[in-house]
Amino acid sequence: MGTASSTRLGGRHAADDELMALVHEAATNAGIDAVGVTDAAPFLPARTAILERKAAGLHAGMWFTYGRPERSTEPSRILDGARSIVVCARKYRGVQTHPDSAPPGSTHPDLNSHGITTPESTEGTVAAYVAEDAYGALAAGLERICEVLRNRGCAAVAVSDDNRLVDRAAAARAGLGWLGRNTMLLSDELGSWTVLGAVVTTAVLPVAGALQPDGCGSCRRCSVACPTGALDVAGVLDANRCFAWMLQATGSFPAEFRVALGDRLYGCDDCQVVCPYNEDLGNETLGNETLGPTADTSRQPVQLRDRAAVSRAPRVDVIGLLEMSDEQLMATFGHWYIPRRRPEYLRRNALVVLANVADPDAPDVEPVLRQALASTSAVVAAHAVWAARRLGHDDLVADAEHDGLGGNDPDGLVAAELLRRVPRRSGAV
């Protein structure tokens, strides 16, 4: 295992080496919040963990670093002659749990800058990191670091949100934090509302120190809050049950999890929102108990979706999304990861959210359902069948069947939905 050197920008342990000082200066100027350095040795423990979880089927077909772990855990595959890895963390504005954490009258930034309105009855929540171009800002900072290293005659390659490197393992080995129970990189200073990236370089940079100890202790708040039980085993994610993955996977959204999906349109932040390290004061009182980083919360229910935090999540009007053309949808949401760059998958997600949150009698619901039922995409039409029935609009499905619904259904997705029994949502008539 490699060794590490971690420096919190502005902290007391800035490297004396001139080149490292220039790297830190470039990172600071680029808005990067923490920098660590580790060597370029293979990440063998991470490789073992990936192979074990892949063999157990916990990856659910997810590619990313699971696809080729022999590559993603071997930095020399990124850059021949690699000697050091500069790992960086950049904060983004996460979802706050304290009702008074924002100024009166303010809310978490939504996506209205893209021309989308968000009436309360048809809102879908999205992961906080996509409310701003967090990775774009990080990538710009990594390139500044690359320039510093290249100006000194060293080769350097920046990687962020990239399946060539196990970034959380690199960050942990570089001393930026520990891998928490929720599998995120956690830091007692930055929490987990960060995006990670790295610069792999031939430069020999100062490396010293040790890994940070686990700070989660007996806390199980993320496991309790996870709506599907995807985090029942500490530090292990079952992607088969993780909404963040399901919303990015191809094919039909798993029927058994559609109702539990609630208003989540893209991503799921629940395990981060409840983490004590992401709270303003590091702890929170629920009832008569104070929950902190080492509290035993195995018996403490966390009703996250009913708490003030949800109102602060970035939100999108799903009806507005469903009314968009493919071109408009990609222009608005193209910076998100959309499977195969096919807008039908965002429409799929939006239809499930619509069925869970919309007023069935709202005047704009029926038109978008009719439009979706008439879609040439079997994915969209299939989920429109489920949404219409859940909202009590079986008549729309019957009309669509009369007009040839399912005529373009090579994989039988629409046919399967037509056979599925879908209980009406409470209140739908």
- What number is the average pLDDT over the span 155-174? 95
Q: Is residue 43 part of a domain?
A: yes
Q: Residue 99 carries which DSSP code?
A: G
Tokens 């919360």 belong to 297
Tokens 């050197």 belong to 5
Q: Residue 76 carries which DSSP code?
A: G
Structural domains of the chain, count: 1
**pLDDT single digits (tens) 36-69:** 999 999 999 999 998 888 888 767 666 567 678 8
Q: Is residue 49 part of a domain?
A: yes
**pLDDT single digits (tens) 92-110:** 988 765 433 332 222 333 3
Whole-number pLDDT of residue 313: 67
**pLDDT single digits (tens) 182-220:** 999 999 889 999 999 999 999 999 886 568 899 999 999
* 126 DSSP β-pair partners: 266
CA dihedral 260, 263, 264, 269 (to 10 degrees): -90
Percent of the chain residues topping a pLDDT of 90: 62
Whole-number pLDDT of residue 230: 93
pTM metric for this prediction: 0.81
Q: Is residue 227 part of a domain?
A: no
Q: Is residue 269 part of a domain?
A: no
Computed over every residue of the chain, the mean pLDDT equals 83
| DSSP collapsed to 3 states, 79-97 | CCCCCEEEEEEEECCCCCC
**Among residues 16, 157, 142, which one has the least CA distance to residue 90?**
142
Q: Is residue 79 part of a domain?
A: yes
Q: Is residue 86 part of a domain?
A: yes
Cα Rg, the chain, nearest whole Å: 23
**Structural domain of 167:** 4-92+130-201
The CA–CA distances, whole Å, from 4 to 1, 169, 177, 423 equal 10, 12, 11, 55
Q: Is residue 337 part of a domain?
A: no
User: How far apart, in whole angstroms, are the C-alpha atoms of residue 2 and residue 211?
Assistant: 10
**pLDDT single digits (tens) 259-285:** 999 999 999 999 999 999 997 533 333
The separation between CA 428 and the C-alpha centre of its own chain, rounded to angstroms, equals 32
Whole-number pLDDT of residue 139: 96
Q: Is residue 76 part of a domain?
A: yes
Give the Cβ contact number of residue 419 at 10 Å: 9
Whole-number pLDDT of residue 312: 60
Whole-number pLDDT of residue 222: 94
**pLDDT single digits (tens) 342-354:** 999 999 999 999 9
Burial of 309 (0-12, 13-18, 19+ CB in 10 A): buried
